[in-house]
Structure 1
Amino acid sequence: MNQSVAKENKYDLICVGGGIMSATLALMLKLVDPKLKIIIFEKLSSVAKESSGAWNNAGTGHSALCELNYTPERPDGSIDISKAIKIFSQFETSKQFWAYLVDQKLIKDPERFIHSVPHHSWVTGKENINFLRKRFKALTQTSMFEKMQYTEEHSKLKQWFPLIARGKEDIEMAATRMEIGTEVNFEDLTKHYFKILEDQFDVPVLRDTDVLDVDPDQSLEWTVEAQDLDTGKVTYYDAQHVFIGAGGGALPLLQKVEIEEKDGYGGFPVDGQWLVCNNRDVIAKHMGKVYSKAGPDAPPMSTPHLDTRFINGKKELLFGPFAGFTTKFLKEGSVMDLPLSINKDNIPSMWGVFWHNLPLTKYLMQQVTMDHSDRMDDLRKFIKDAKAQDWDLKVAGKRVQIIKKDKEEGGVLEFGTDVVHSKDGSITALLGASPGASVAVSIMLEVIQTAFPEMVKTANWQQKLSKMIPFWNRKIQENESEFKKVQANSSEKLGLKVLH
C-alpha cells in the first residue's frame, strides 16, 4: 500500500473496533493528553454490538471472587492463588478508573452499568468440598479476600441462594460468598465512553467503516485502508500508533500486518449460549452470581454459573454457558473466518492444539448435539425443580480463544488475553477472551506502556495516571492500608457495597 494521505487524515492513534477496549484506550489517553489526535473505526452501524454487548457476556465483574478456574490445585494438593490475586488487582483498577469518571462528572449515573451482586462459589461432593475449603483458607490469608465467607450449613446456603439450595437437604454442599461482587453492563458503559469521546473530546468514531488493511509507510508510521460500507469509498489514514481491538475481528486483520510477532497465532472460535429465564417470579427469587466447577473434560470457559443480570433497567437471570462450534469469529462475521485464518505460519500451532486437546473436541461435539431437554438437565443440577417452559435459549457472543506457538506441543490453546505488538510498540493488537472487559483498564495500561513508553516515564503522565488510577503501577500487597481506603472510595463513588 503506497498511498498519499491527506493532512487531515493523519493521527497519533487509530483504534480499530468499537468495543470496550478501544473506548477505554482512547478515553484514558485523551484524559492524560487531550492534544492527542485519535480516530476510531467500527465496522457495524453502532458500537458495543459484539463482545461488549449486554447479552453477549455474563456481566460478571471478574475479580476471582467466585471463579474456581482462577485458583487451580497444584500436584501437591495446595492451591495456587497467584492468578486470583492478579485478576482481583486488575478489576480494582477498573473500579478506580470508573470512580474517577464519576468524580469528574463524566459519568453521572453509575447505577446504569454497575450493581453490587454477591459472588458465590458452590460445589457438591466430598472431593469438591475439600477443594473449596482449601481455596477459602488460601485466599483468606490475603487482605484482598479476607471478607470471604464459607459454609457447609444448609440453613446458611438457603439464605444465600434459596433457588439452588431448595430440595438438596440430602446432598453434601459447600459455598463461599463475597458481598463485594459486582454485575456490570459493559454495553452501557462502552456506549457511555463513546459519548464522552465524541461530545467532550471531539474524537471521530466512524461507524459502518471496515478496515481493509494496515501497512507500514515510509515515514515510520502506519497507513490504514478503510472503506465506508454505505458508499464503498476507500480512504487512507496515517497514524504513529495503531490499536486493533476488534474482538474476534482482530486476528484476521493482525494477520495482514507486516510484523513477525503475529506468526504462529491462530484462533479457535466458540459460540456462547445461555438459558434465559422468562418467569419474573423465578427471577425475583435469586440474587447473586453462583459459579460451580466445570466437568472433567470441559475447558475453563465452560464453568457453569447462574447469574443475576441487570439489562435495560430490568433484573434478569441467566444460566450457562453452553458452547456451540462455529467458524465465525464474530456474530456478524463470515463462515470463512476460521478457514481464511489458517496459514503456513500457524498450521503447526493449530495442529498441535487439535492433537493435544481431543477432550475439548469431544466436549464441543457433546455441546453441539444438546437439545433443550439436555440443557434443562444441566440447569436442574442448580435449580432442582426448574421448568422447561420458564427458560429460553439465547445465542450470545463469539469467543475466539488464542492459539499460539509452543516448542513442546506445537501449539497451545490459551484461555485469556494476549497483547501482541511490534518491537517498537507502534502497533498493538488484543487477542483472546475472558476475563476481557472486566480488566480492560489494566490491559489498556499495558498497551499504553507498550506504545508510549517514553511518555509514561514523564512526571506529567505519571501524575495524571496516578490521579485516575491510584494503583496503576503499585501492588496491593505492598500498600494494603492505602488500598483499602482507595477501594472504599471507589465503591462509594460507584454506589457499591462497602465492607468495613
Structure 2
Amino acid sequence: MSNKQTKSDVILIGAGVMSATLGSLMKELAPEWEIKVFEKLGNSGAESSNEWNNAGTGHAALCELNYTSEKPDGSMDISKAIKVNEQFQVSRQFWSYLVKSDLIRRPQEFIMPMPHMSYVQGEKNVNFLKKRYEALVNNPLFQEMEFSDEPEKLREWMPLIMDGRSSDEPTAATKIDSGTDVNFGALTRLLFDHLKDNNVDVNYQHSVENLKQASDGSWEVKVRDTANDNIEHHNARFVFIGAGGKSLHLLQKSGIPEGKNIGGFPVSGLFMACSNPEVVEQHQAKVYGKAKVGAPPMSVPHLDTRYIGNKKTLLFGPFAGFSPKFLKAGSMFDLATSVKPDNLTTMIASGAKNIPLTKYLIKQVMQSKEQRMEELREFLPNAKSEDWELVTAGQRVQVIKDTEDSGKGTLQFGTEVVSADDGSIAALLGASPGASTAVQVMLDVLEQCFPQNMKEWEPKIKEMIPSYGVSLTENPELFREIHASTARALHLEEDQEHSLDIEEKVLEKV
C-alpha cells in the first residue's frame, strides 16, 4: 500500500469521449494546467464510448424522429431538433480545428459521410413525417432534406428496406446526404493520444474510490491502482466525473448538495449485426424509424451502416435489456447501492410512474432471436435469421430526478451536467444524444465552473469554434460556410481542395 500524494490542477475521472473532449479543450485554453486522468479499465474509450456500445450516429436530428413532436394544435415543434443540430455543428468545428492544427490526424479514422433517413409506414405516420419535413426544410440547418412517398424513389434511396415490401401500405422517407457515421471509440483514443503527447498523465487500471472536499475548496481523491493493489491520494482544485454509469455513485460520494435527490435507472442495449457481406453492401445509410406506441424514446428502431475497424457493418436495433449494473464492467449491486436516504422517495415514485417501462423491458428481455427477427423484418422484409447475430451493446443509466413540470421521480432521457455551486466539481449523467454533443456539453461545464476565465478564453474558443455564441439558425450564410469548411477539413466531401480558407471569413463575421 502506498501513501503517495500528488497535486494537480485538474482530475478527470473516466477515459471516455467526455473526459477526452474536456481535457483537449483545457489543453488549448490553459496549456500550463496539470491534468491527471484515472480510468478503471485498461484503455480509453472502452465503455460507453466504445464503437460497439453505441449507435455511432452523428446525432444532428436529421433522422431521429423523437427530436420533433406534434403540438396540440397540430403544428410541429422542432426546437429540440434545432438545438441538437447546432450542438453537433459545434463538435464538427472543434474536430476540424484539431485536424487542421495537426493535433489529431486522419479524420476518416473516426468520421465518415453517411446519408441519414427517416422511414415510416402507415398513413398516420406518413402524414407526421411530411409535416415534420415541411417544418424542418425551411430551416437553414435542414434545407438539404428531401421527402418522398413514391415507392420507386424509396427503392432508389434504400433498396434493401424496400425489397420484398408490399406496395399496398403507405410508406415515406426523408433523406439528407450530409449525415455522418462517427466511431466515438476511435475518436476517444485519438484524443487521448493527443493528450498524452501533451503531458497529460493518463492512468489506466486506476479506480477512484472516494472524493472529499478539503478546507481550501480543493478535492482529495482516493484512487486504487488495481494492477498493483496500491492506494494513492491525489489532490486537485477541479474534478470532472465522466465515468459513464459510475458517475452517479461518485457524485453521491462527493456529498455536494446539487447531487442530492438524484437516482439512476440502468438500461442495456442489444443490436442485431449482419454477418453476410452481400447483404451489408446493399445498404448505405442510417435509417431511423418511429418508436412504437408506449415504447421509450431510446427504443427508436434504426438500421445503420457502420464502419468499425475499417470494416463495413450493418446493425439493427436497439433492443432493450436489463441489468442492475451501471457499466458493462460494473457490479450487480450498482442499482441497489445507488439508492440513498435522500433519493429513496424519488426512486419509489419513479418505480410507480414507470410500470409500463418495466413491463416493456421485461418483454424485451424475454424475446427470442426469432421474435427480434420479426421486428427486423418490419424494416427488412427479406431478412434471413442465418445472416444476423445478437451483439450486446452498452449500458446506460437514465437520470431520475424531481422536476417542477412532471413531479417526483421523473425519468430523464437526455444528458445532464451537475456541478457544485463553487465550480470545483462537475459530473456528467445520462445518455442521448451524448457523445455527438460532447463539445457543447463540455463548453457548458467550462462556463459553469470557470466563469472567471471565460472572458480571457473567449478569443481562443472562437478560433476553435467560430460559431461560439452565435445562432447558426439565425445566421444561415455563416452556417453554410462553416458546414462546407468542416466537411472539407473532416474529408466528408469528394472535393478536398483547400484553396479557400473560409475560417478567416467566418472569424471576421463573428
The aligned residue for residue 463 of structure 1 is: 459
1:398-417 equivalent positions in 2, closer than 5 A: 398-406=395-403, 409-417=407-415
Aligned residue for 2:411, secondary structure, equals strand
> What's the CA shift for 1:232?
1.4
Q: Which stretches in structure 1 are left out of the alignment for 5+ residues?
A: none
The aligned residue for residue 439 of structure 1 is: 437
Aligned residue for 2:215, secondary structure, equals coil
The 3 A distance-change label for structure 1 pair 94 and 305 is same
> What's the CA shift for 1:425?
1.4
One-letter code aligned to 1:26: G
Separation of aligned partners in 2, 1:261 and 1:107: 36
Q: Is the 8 A contact 1:356 1:409 kept in 2?
A: no
> What's the CA shift for 1:239?
0.8
Separation of aligned partners in 2, 1:489 and 1:239: 38
Q: Is the 8 A contact 1:12 1:241 kept in 2?
A: yes
The aligned residue for residue 93 of structure 1 is: 90
1:87-236 equivalent positions in 2, closer than 5 A: 87-168=84-165, 169-199=167-197, 201-236=198-233
The aligned residue for residue 303 of structure 1 is: 300
The aligned residue for residue 245 of structure 1 is: 242
One-letter code aligned to 1:394: V
The aligned residue for residue 370 of structure 1 is: 367
Separation of aligned partners in 1, 2:3 and 2:274: 55
Residue 257 of structure 2, aligned match among 250, 257, 260? 260
> What's the CA shift for 1:362?
1.4
Is residue 490 of structure 1 aligned with residue 493 of structure 2?
A: no
> What's the CA shift for 1:352?
1.7
The aligned residue for residue 420 of structure 1 is: 418
CA RMSD of aligned residues (A): 1.3
Q: Is the 8 A contact 2:141 2:479 kept in 1?
A: no
Aligned residue for 2:19, secondary structure, equals helix
The aligned residue for residue 286 of structure 2 is: 289
One-letter code aligned to 1:413: L
The aligned residue for residue 64 of structure 2 is: 67
Residue 352 of structure 2, aligned match among 352, 355, 364? 355
Aligned residue for 2:381, secondary structure, equals coil
Separation of aligned partners in 2, 1:472 and 1:198: 27
Aligned residue for 2:312, secondary structure, equals strand
The aligned residue for residue 46 of structure 1 is: 43
> What's the CA shift for 1:5?
7.4
1:266-317 deviations in whole A, cap 9, x for unaligned? 1110110000000000000000000001111100000000000000000000
| Count of matched residue pairs | 492
Q: Which stretches in structure 2 are left out of the alignment for 5+ residues?
A: 496-510
> What's the CA shift for 1:4?
8.9
> What's the CA shift for 1:223?
0.7
Q: Is the 8 A contact 1:24 1:444 kept in 2?
A: yes
One-letter code aligned to 1:451: C
One-letter code aligned to 1:53: N
One-letter code aligned to 1:405: D
Is residue 384 of structure 1 aligned with residue 381 of structure 2?
A: yes
The aligned residue for residue 318 of structure 1 is: 315
Q: Is the 8 A contact 1:16 1:22 kept in 2?
A: yes
The 3 A distance-change label for structure 1 pair 5 and 219 is farther
Separation of aligned partners in 1, 2:173 and 2:479: 27
1:312-371 deviations in whole A, cap 9, x for unaligned? 000000000001111000001000000000111111211222211222111111101101
The aligned residue for residue 506 of structure 2 is: none
One-letter code aligned to 2:443: L
Separation of aligned partners in 2, 1:91 and 1:476: 11
Q: Bigger shift: 115-124 or 473-482? A: 473-482
Aligned residue for 1:321, secondary structure, equals strand
Separation of aligned partners in 2, 1:94 and 1:316: 24
> What's the CA shift for 1:231?
1.4
TM-score, normalised with respect to structure 1: 0.97
Separation of aligned partners in 2, 1:409 and 1:241: 32
Separation of aligned partners in 2, 1:393 and 1:5: 45
Separation of aligned partners in 2, 1:335 and 1:402: 18
Residue 26 of structure 1, aligned match among 18, 23, 26? 23
TM-score, normalised with respect to structure 2: 0.95
One-letter code aligned to 2:85: F
One-letter code aligned to 1:448: L
Aligned residue for 2:52, secondary structure, equals helix
1:460-482 deviations in whole A, cap 9, x for unaligned? x1111001111122111232212
Q: Bigger shift: 447-456 or 176-185? A: 447-456
Q: Bigger shift: 299-308 or 228-237? A: 228-237
Q: Is the 8 A contact 1:351 1:410 kept in 2?
A: no
Separation of aligned partners in 2, 1:108 and 1:37: 24
> What's the CA shift for 1:406?
2.9
> What's the CA shift for 1:484?
1.3
Separation of aligned partners in 1, 2:192 and 2:223: 20
Q: Is the 8 A contact 1:214 1:225 kept in 2?
A: yes
